[in-house]
Amino acid sequence: MTRPTVVLLPGFQGSADQPILVNLSSRLEALGFPCLRLAPPRLKLTPELEVYGAWLDDQLPAGPLILVGRSFGGRLAIRLAARRQLEAVVLLGFPIRPPGKKRPLDEQALAALRCPTWIAQGTKDELGPIKVLRTFAGSAEIFPLIGAGHDFGSKESLALEAATQWLKVGVKGQTR
C-alpha cells in the first residue's frame, strides 16, 4: 500500500531544515512515508497567509497528502485543509491565540477541519493556550506536553514519537 506524502512546514521564517522537521521526517521515512520539507519564501513584512497559501498550492505534489505544520506552518496547513482534501493534519505547537491577539480566521479554519487531526501542544505555550485550543479543535486529538512552552524544549522527542505513532497507526487503528 502506498503511503501518502507527508509535507512538513516550518515555523515563521524557519527553513526546511528546521531540526524538529528534519527529525520527524527521518522517523517517518524510516516507516516508508515519503516526506517533503518545504519552507515558504521569506518576506520582509508581516506575511499574509494568502500569499503563502498560493505559494504552497504550487509546491505540493499530486496524490494523497498529510500536512505537518510547526507553529506558523500549522496555520498554513489548516488553511490548505479548507481548500483541499487531506489524509490528515499534524500540528506541532499551534499559535491559536498569542497574548493580546485573537486570530478569528485561524479559529474558524481549525474548527472547520474535516480530516483526522493531531495536535502536540505545550501546557505552558503562551502562543497557544490549551484551553483556547480545545475550544476550536473540534474532534482533533490534542496531545498535551506537560510543562512545555511553544518550543517544546526537552519534550520535543516525546511529541515527535507520539506524532510518529499516530501517523503509523492511523485513525481508528487502521495502519497507514
Q: List pLDDT tens digits, range 56-90.
A: 888 888 899 999 999 999 999 999 998 889 999 99
Amino acid 56: pLDDT? 82
Long-range contacts of 49-57 (CB under 8 A, 24+ apart): 49/75, 49/76, 49/79, 49/105, 52/76, 53/79, 53/80, 53/83, 56/9, 56/80, 57/83, 57/84
Amino acid 171: pLDDT? 52
Q: Tell me the C-alpha distance between 125 and 148, whole Å.
A: 7
Entry pTM: 0.92
Decide which of 162 and 138 is more confident. 162
With beta carbons less than 8 A apart as the criterion, state whether 74 and 93 touch.
yes
pLDDT category of residue 46 using cuts at 50, 70 and 90: low
Amino acid 88: pLDDT? 96
CATH code where residue 70 lies: 3.40.50.1820
Domain count, the chain: 1
For residue 133, the enclosing domain spans: 5-41+49-173
List pLDDT tens digits, range 90-118: 999 999 999 999 999 999 999 999 999 99
